[in-house]
Structure 1
Amino acid sequence: MNSDKSALRDAATLIILRKDHPEGPAVLMGQRGAGAAFMPSKYVFPGGALDPGDAGVPLAAPLPAASATRLVQDAPAGIAPALAVAAIRELWEETGLILGLPGAWAGPVPEDWRSFAATGHLPSAAGLRFIFRAITPPGRPRRFDARFFLVAAEALACDPDDFSRASDELSFLQWVPLALARELNLPFITEVVLAEVQAQLTTGAEPATIPFFDNRGPRATFARL
Structure 2
Amino acid sequence: MDPRPHGLPVLSRQRSASLAWGLGGLLLALLLALRVDAGLAWDSQRLLRGAQPLGELALRNALAVQELVQQLPGRDEPGRIAAVNDFFNQRIGFRSDLDLYGVTDYWASPLETMARGAGDCEDFAIAKYFTLVAAGVSQKKLRLVYVRAMDLGLAVPHMVLAYYPTPDADPWVLDNLVPGLRPASARPDLTPVFSFNAEAIWEGVGSSPVKGSATERLSRWAAVLRKAREEGF
Q: Bin the TM-score by the shorter chain.
A: under 0.3
Question: Relative contact order: is structure 1 or structure 2 higher (C-alpha 8 Å, sep ≥ 6)?
Answer: 2
Larger strand proportion, structure 1 or 2? 1
Larger helix proportion, structure 1 or 2? 2
| TM-score, normalisation: structure 2 | 0.25
